Each structure stands twice: as structure tokens, then as C-alpha cells.
Structure 1
Amino acid sequence: MDSLTQIVLGAAVGEAVLGKKVGNKAMLYGAIAGTIPDLDIFVGYFADTVTTIEQHRGFSHSILFSILCAPVFGFLISKIEQKSAATWKDWASLMFWGLFTHPILDVFTTWGTQLFWPFKIRLAFQNIFVIDPLYTLPFLVFLVLAMRRKRTDPKRRKWNNLGLIVSSTYLLLTLVLKAVTYQKFKQNLEEQQIAYTEIATRPTPFNSLLWTANVDTQDAYLIGDYSFFDSKPIAFRSYPKNHELLGSLREKDKIKRMINIAEGWFTISNDKEQLYFNDLRFGLISLDPEETQFVFSYKILLEKGAVTMEETEKFDTEGQKLLSELWKRILGN
């Protein structure tokens, strides 16, 4: 999830664990704990594109990281807060839950997380977008209400618990919505007599009312959108796989790794003799039926027999275009 959401979750967890003893400092250190796993973004300054993608939400988002680092961070905080009523074990407990709940929340997103690192298992339930105001804003409001109360005030714990309950309930609701939309996509494919081998669904940005499906067919991937306000059948757009364009490049290490990262959901495009690797899991940059540009697209560069990948540049206007189209599409076709 986005940084603000992880900060809010970390602060709420910190309050639940240690708020009665240390008040707002529990929220402060919980928020810090909720931020730490995402510091893996700095890997990008020292590694190539493929390695950076592989490491994102890797070790720092694992159970192992939480177990190993919580006692260390807890010890450091106990030295900083020597006058506090909390013990080293209290701080270690707070840090563990702050660190651990971060990847648990990320499991529900499209990117997922390597919770069981070093085992190469990436869990991704794909039922909530990385930024969802309906999850974050009510959670934030309850947290602020709790923060304004004294640590001994029973209402402080009540507000904080309400925030955790409401946010968790919404998260579970999106799983139900995902199941409902999956059946809608499946039903439409059957009614349109489209043969397929696999369907992957996910919510569109910032909401849980409009969903997208990637559909695997023999030579192409189909992409369709469904809103809970739709009154017409789902229209599926076809995107050729073009996997054969890779030729011998498919045996190159970085290409194999990218295919593994994309979990097989990728197309290859050729623009003026330049090959691009398109990761389908995050969709297109707009909802325009004629759109062909994917959110995550990588140039395949070959120099002296070695393959390198370079992410294509994104522009602010693309995000603005998507937002303007998004709200119209949510209202139904």
C-alpha cells in the first residue's frame, strides 16, 4: 500500500500494543515501523532494473525480517526512551507488529509480497489497489480522534479499535467484491463463447467498484472492465502475446527473470525495431478502448550479447487522463 496508509496502520497497531503505557509515542514508533519495510526502494540506486523489481517487497517484507529486526529496533528505542514505562520487550513487541502488519496488508495488493522469503513465493490476493481512499481516510480519521485523547482515556482505545475494525472490514469486503466480479467476468466469457485458460482480476485505481480482468487465450490476452453499475455486457479487448518476437532472447537470464516476475502475464511489442516487455498485471495507462500502452513497460536492450531492461518513462498527463476516464467508467456503461 502507499506510504500514508502504512503509516496510519503502523500508528494504529503501535497504539493497540503500547498506547496505554506511552501514549502518542506508541503511535510515533508504530508509524516508523510501518514505514521501514518500504526502504527497500533504495535498492534501485545500486542495482539493475530486474534485480530492483525482484527485491521490491522481498526480504524487508518477510516474516523473517520482522522477527530478526524487532528486537534490535526495540533495544534501540529502549535506550532512547529510558524514562519511559515501557520495557525493551514492550518496544520489541510494538516494532514486531508494526513491521509485520505492513507486508500482511501488502499481500492484498496486485504486487503482493514475499512474506515467506527466502522461499520464492509471492503472495498477491489482488483485491485492493495500492491507494484506496475508502480504506485509508476513515482509518486516518479514527486515528486522529484517538490521538487527541489522553492515554488513560477509554475513548482513546475505542477510537483506535474502531479504525482497525472499519479498515479490516472494508479489506474483507473487497475480497467479496473480487469473488462477485470474477463470476461476472466468467459468465460473460461463457455467454460470448470465448475459450480461455485463466482469468486474473483486480480493482482499478483508487476504488473497489470498477474491476479489470486479464484473460489468457491461446494467442492473445483479453482485457475487460466491469463496474457494479454496468448495464451492458463486458467488452473484451484483445492484445496479441507476440512471445515469438523474443526469439533466442527468451533464453537470456534477465528475460527469464522478468517472465517469472510477471507470472507469465506479459506481451512483447515492437516499435521501430525496438522490443518492449509489457507487464499486464497492472493494466493499461488509460481506459480508452484503443489504448495499447501498459503501465509497466520495459525496453529490451541488447549490448554485446547481454540483455538489460529499462523502464519506459511515465508522464503526469497520463495519470490525469486515467483519472478523468476512471470516474466516468465507474458510473457504468
Structure 2
Amino acid sequence: MDLLTQGLLGANLAVTGAQKHEIRLATGIGFFAGMVADADILIQSEQDPLLTIEFHRHFTHSLFFVPFGAFIAAVLLWPFLRKRLGFPRLYLFCLLGYSLSGVLDALTSYGTHLLWPLIETRVALNIISVIDPVFTLILLVALIIAFRNKTKTHAIFGLIIASLYLLIGYAQLQRAELTALTIAQSRHHEIERLLVKPTLGNLLLWRSIYEYGDRFYVDAVRVGFFSSPTVYPGESVEKFVKTNYLDRSFMGSILAGDIDRFSIFSDGFVALQQGRQDLLVDIRYSSLPNSTAPLWAIEMNPAQPDQHAQFRVFRSMSKTLREEFVALLMGSK
């Protein structure tokens, strides 16, 4: 999730292990430790644009890296806190703060390499968006009260409420997936792969992508808490096949390798942007939940197969797109 939420979760967790006189110190330590895992965003290369997306939320988010990540956080903080806290207590707070960084990201639609190095597959449970104001606010309010009152009870209570919110997200996901299956059945499609994920900042509006034949079908599903789901039919696009795009003699090239890397990152949900034969997009993400317009893609040049593909991001939204998203979210479209 976003850095703020990671820090808030880490702070609440650290507070649960603190004594009353340590609570405020543990808050800062846990907040810092909760964000340390995302330092992997600093792994970049000007020569290899895909290196960043390969290593963001990678080994630093693994459950097996938690003791080492906590130790790194403790070492970084030790020069500033050695006169106020012994290293064992500092490490404990860092361990608590760091402990669920990877798990939290695994609950999102982006996912993380939670079980690396045993399993290379990115775990993405799609229960919650990468940014969810309600979830963040729950953690923030709990932490503020715990900090002011110097009591861990409120932090624990906040973590319980946040967990219940995640359970609501899971229930919403099940309802959205069931609706997606119904959509496919109405089209007489037999789903080969299905992905349903929440849209940004909410548990009401979901994006459904399923594979049938040689195409991906994208739809929006609004799952109200007290109403029947609403379907907003979307677009479809032909799935990308590398052997149809590159000449056989280029299969061992740098570009072919980049296509494979991007396809693995996108879990195989890749297609050429309509009208752009040089843009390979990640179908999982779009500004609108029933659109195939990408949030990111790689720009390819088949005429130069020994050059790296360029990673492109398309995050700007026009006023029209924002209004349409809100209409879908509110169920007024």
C-alpha cells in the first residue's frame, strides 16, 4: 500500500509490544520500520527501465526477509536512539513494525513476492486497493488516541477494526467474482482465467478481467453493501502473443527478454494498445474499470531488438474521466 498506511500499520503494531513509557517512542520506531520495506523502489537503472518494476515489492517484502529488514531498520535508528533505548527493545519495535509490510501489500491488487525465495510468484489477494482512505483512517485514528493516552489498548482495537474492514473487502470480492462469472455466462463464454480487483480507494467498484479464446474482456462491477450488483459492460482486446509479434530470429534478443519480463510482471494480462503496435499494456489496470486504456505499458521498437523497451506511465486523468469514474462509483451512470 502507500507509504503512509505502511507506516501507520507498523506504528500500531510496535505500540502493541511497548510498555506505557515506551509507547510514544515505539510509535515513531514502528512508523519508520513499516516503511523500510518500500526502500526497494530505489533499485533503478537508467540502462534497464524494467528493473524498477521487477524489484519493487520484491525480496524486501518477503516473510523470510522480515528479521533482516527489521535489523536494518534498527541499525539505521540506533545512532539516534542508543541513549534512550537498548538495542533489544529497539529491534523488537522494528520487528513488529516491519512484520506485516509484505502481508499488507499481498492483500492489495498489486501484490508482492511474499514467499520469495521459495516461490517467485507475486501474491496479490485483491482484497483492498493500493490506496484506501477508510483503511488508512482507521489506523490513523487508533494511533493518535494511543499516542495521546499512552495506552496500547487503542492500537490493538484499531488493528481489530482494520482486520474487520479487510474481511468486508474479502466478502465484496466474492460478490464481485460471482457477478463476473454471471457476465461471462450471459455471453456464453467459458472463462479460462479470471481476475477481479478493487478500483482505487474503495470497496464498491471492481474491475473484472477474464480471458476467453484469444481475447480479454473487461467490465466494471459495482457491489453495493445493501444492494444488488450493477454491471457496466466494457471493452475487449486481443491478447498478446509474442511469436506473432517478433520475428523468430529475434526471440533471443533484449527486446524479447523485456517482453517476457513485463508479461511475468503483468501475470500474462498483456495486449497491444488499440491503434498502437508499439505499446504493450498491462490490462489489469486502467483509469476506468471497464476500459482497456492503460495505466502503464512498455514501448517497443521491433526494428531495434537489441535495445531495452521503455516503461511508460499514463496516470493523468481528464475531467471527463474523473466524472465518469465518480458516476460509476456512485452508481449514477
TM-score when scaled to structure 2?
0.87
CA-CA distance at 1:258 after TM superposition? 1.5
Residue equivalent to 2:187:
192
CA-CA distance at 1:294 after TM superposition? 0.8
Deviates more, 1:27-36 or 1:112-121: 112-121
Distance in structure 2 (CA, Å) of the matches to 1:215 and 1:250? 28
CA-CA distance at 1:107 after TM superposition? 0.4
Contact 1:188–1:234 (CA under 8 A) maintained in structure 2: no
Amino acid at match of 1:176: A
Distance in structure 2 (CA, Å) of the matches to 1:113 and 1:93? 24
Residue equivalent to 2:297:
297
Any idea what the Cα deviations from partners look like across 1:227-262, whole Å, max 9, x if unmatched? 124675552421122436523356522211221111
Any idea what the Cα deviations from partners look like across 1:62-111, whole Å, max 9, x if unmatched? 22322223235435645543443x53222212212211211110001122
Return the structure number with greater strand share: 1
Residue equivalent to 2:133:
133
Any idea what the Cα deviations from partners look like across 1:188-237, whole Å, max 9, x if unmatched? 22133223211110011110011111010112100011112467555242
Q: 2:282 aligns with which of 260, 263, 279?
A: 279
Are 2:266 and 1:262 equivalent residues in the alignment? yes
Residue equivalent to 2:62:
62
Contact 1:245–1:268 (CA under 8 A) maintained in structure 2: no
- Structure 1 segment 164-175 matched on structure 2, within 5 A: 164-175=159-170
Distance in structure 1 (CA, Å) of the matches to 2:78 and 2:18? 13
Distance in structure 2 (CA, Å) of the matches to 1:129 and 1:207? 7
CA-CA distance at 1:125 after TM superposition? 0.4
Q: Percent identity?
A: 24
TM-score when scaled to structure 1?
0.87
Distance in structure 2 (CA, Å) of the matches to 1:299 and 1:265? 16
- Structure 1 segment 88-103 matched on structure 2, within 5 A: 88-103=87-102
Any idea what the Cα deviations from partners look like across 1:144-179, whole Å, max 9, x if unmatched? 111111x3xxxx222211211111110121111101
Residue equivalent to 2:238:
240
Distance in structure 1 (CA, Å) of the matches to 2:292 and 2:206? 18
CA-CA distance at 1:266 after TM superposition? 0.7
Deviates more, 1:237-246 or 1:209-218: 237-246
Residue equivalent to 1:253:
257
Distance in structure 2 (CA, Å) of the matches to 1:14 and 1:48? 37
Contact 2:60–2:69 (CA under 8 A) maintained in structure 1: no
Distance in structure 2 (CA, Å) of the matches to 1:135 and 1:329? 21
Any idea what the Cα deviations from partners look like across 1:107-131, whole Å, max 9, x if unmatched? 0112211122223121110121110
Any idea what the Cα deviations from partners look like across 1:275-326, whole Å, max 9, x if unmatched? 11111122x2235x6x5421112101357531412122435344x5543222
Contact 1:37–1:102 (CA under 8 A) maintained in structure 2: yes
CA-CA distance at 1:270 after TM superposition? 6.4
| Structure 1 pair 232–41 and aligned structure 2 pair: CA distance change class (3 A) | closer
Distance in structure 1 (CA, Å) of the matches to 2:40 and 2:75? 22
Report the aligned-residue RMSD. 2.4
Residue equivalent to 2:106:
107
Contact 2:36–2:69 (CA under 8 A) maintained in structure 1: no
Contact 2:222–2:231 (CA under 8 A) maintained in structure 1: no
| Structure 1 pair 327–269 and aligned structure 2 pair: CA distance change class (3 A) | closer
Contact 1:19–1:27 (CA under 8 A) maintained in structure 2: no
Distance in structure 2 (CA, Å) of the matches to 1:250 and 1:269? 21
| Structure 1 pair 19–201 and aligned structure 2 pair: CA distance change class (3 A) | farther
- Structure 1 segment 197-212 matched on structure 2, within 5 A: 197-212=192-207
Deviates more, 1:256-265 or 1:245-254: 245-254
Q: 2:214 aligns with which of 215, 219, 239?
A: 219
Residue equivalent to 1:328:
327
Distance in structure 2 (CA, Å) of the matches to 1:129 and 1:176? 14
Point out where structure 2 has 5 or more consecutive residues left out of the alignment: none
3-state SS, counterpart of residue 159 of structure 2: helix
